[in-house]
Amino acid sequence: MKRDTQIPAQSSSTQPLPDARTPLSIQIALRIYQLGWCLAIPFLRRNHRLQHGFDQRVLRETPATADLWVQAASVGESFLAWEIIKKLEPTKSIRVLLTTYTSQGMEILEKARNEAMQQNRKFTIHTAYFPFDHPKLMKKAVAAIQPKVILLLESELWPGLLQACKQQQVKILVANGRMTAKSLSKYLFWPSLWHHLRPDRVLAISTDDASHFATLFGKDRVQTMPNIKFDRISNQSAPMATDNPLAHLLPADGTSSLIILGSIRQKEEADITKLICAIREKNNQAVIALFPRHMHRINNWEKILEDLNYPWQLRSRTTGPVDHGTIILWDTMGEMLSAYQLANAALIGGSLAPLGGQNFLEPLTCGLKPVIGPYWSDFSWIGQEIIDQGLVLQAKDWQEAAGLLLQNGAEPPQREQTRQQVLTYVKNHGGGTAQTCTAINALLSAESNQ
């Protein structure tokens, strides 16, 4: 990163954003938006999560120039960016800038950069934190980077960035695009603004998402694509079941089944509590691993488990085999995949209450057929066929979910058979990465020919 001390941490909102082609109403909207950022940035400076790369976020450090700028919000999008960079075959040498908001996303992007530059000498790749979307800051960022194409992954629609790209004639591609009906209703508060800022091309992951984007930007800008996450799964090797780092936590005699309650959300805690009681009533020997979706709910779960008077302990204090029937309250991060490899059955949370669901593909990659509730709209892109084929077991409520978990927990899962079925399924739904790369190369070529 080049050092540039001439750019202030934040810019005055009193100066106009000159662009004779921008309608006056849009200019007013962007000035109001800019004022909001001027007021917000001093407070954002105090946010410990934003301390990483803060100089980059306010352009005290100038980002590197790039032909292609890829913005990946956090961890999930950063993995998508990695998949794209692995697949992208540029016709000539190319400079790429990978940006993200979070330190976790940055770790992934740096690994992607190192791998890509080792494997393909046509790449020169830099990473940076995404600048705050203060319109004047973003205009300076785009001027410094000088991208020909910017790729925005999933739902990255920032007015300051889009306006700067419009002003400086940067092609805008949205890929793996997602937009819920709720999000669309918010964008439609000012439809003329978003029509003015519309991307050059949107690749959406479902017909519903495509319809929402089309309502906002016009049908001529929108196509559908397979979700890149299918390609990620098909490229993953089988998880190693041997030497599992969690194996020592289970009862030493090996006779106890492990039931996982994963990514449990606050609004379904009451139902999960009843589900735990139902499982314990039928099988008080099973070990239950409880993974709250958010760590700040650990204290609440401690109170719930104390009231239930079942044997339980925190994962962080578990160093050896637990007794049969113990509930392990998972208060550590990064161990869910290893737990899936040991489990007999798993419920994926966010699905017993109308919360949209959580990702149930991870247990499938471990050969474990997950149980979900009736609410999984955020993952409808995976397709109803995955339920019709029996790879995912959908329950109508917590009672039915408890029954399915008890049924699955009674026998070891047929992991390899399930995994092969899953790989066949995702292979038949893949191709999103290739479609995105084709779109990138087409836009880059179009810019080169101008």
pLDDT at residue 121 in the model: 87
What count of other Cβ atoms lies within 10 Å of the Cβ of residue 443?
21
Three-state DSSP string of 265-320 = CHHHHHHHHHHHHHHHHHCCCCEEEEEECCHHHHHHHHHHHHHHCCCEEEHHHCCC
- Is domain 247-428 classified as CATH 3.40.50.2000? yes
- Summarize pLDDT for 30-45 with one digit per residue, the tens: 999 999 999 999 999 9
C-alpha span between 81 and 336 (Å, rounded): 23
Domain ranges in the chain? 2-226+431-449, 247-428
- Summarize pLDDT for 305-327 with one digit per residue, the tens: 999 999 999 999 999 999 999 99
- Summarize pLDDT for 214-232 with one digit per residue, the tens: 999 999 999 999 999 999 8
What count of other Cβ atoms lies within 10 Å of the Cβ of residue 284?
11
Does the pLDDT value for residue 64 go beyond 60? yes
pLDDT at residue 413 in the model: 93
Same fold, 2-226+431-449 and 247-428: yes
CB 348 within 8 A of CB 324: no
- Most confidently modeled of 211-220, 244-253, 377-386? 211-220
Percent of the chain predicted with pLDDT > 90: 82
CATH: 3.30.70.20, 3.40.50.11720, 3.30.750.24, 3.30.1490.20. Which one for 2-226+431-449?
A: 3.40.50.11720
What count of other Cβ atoms lies within 10 Å of the Cβ of residue 396?
9
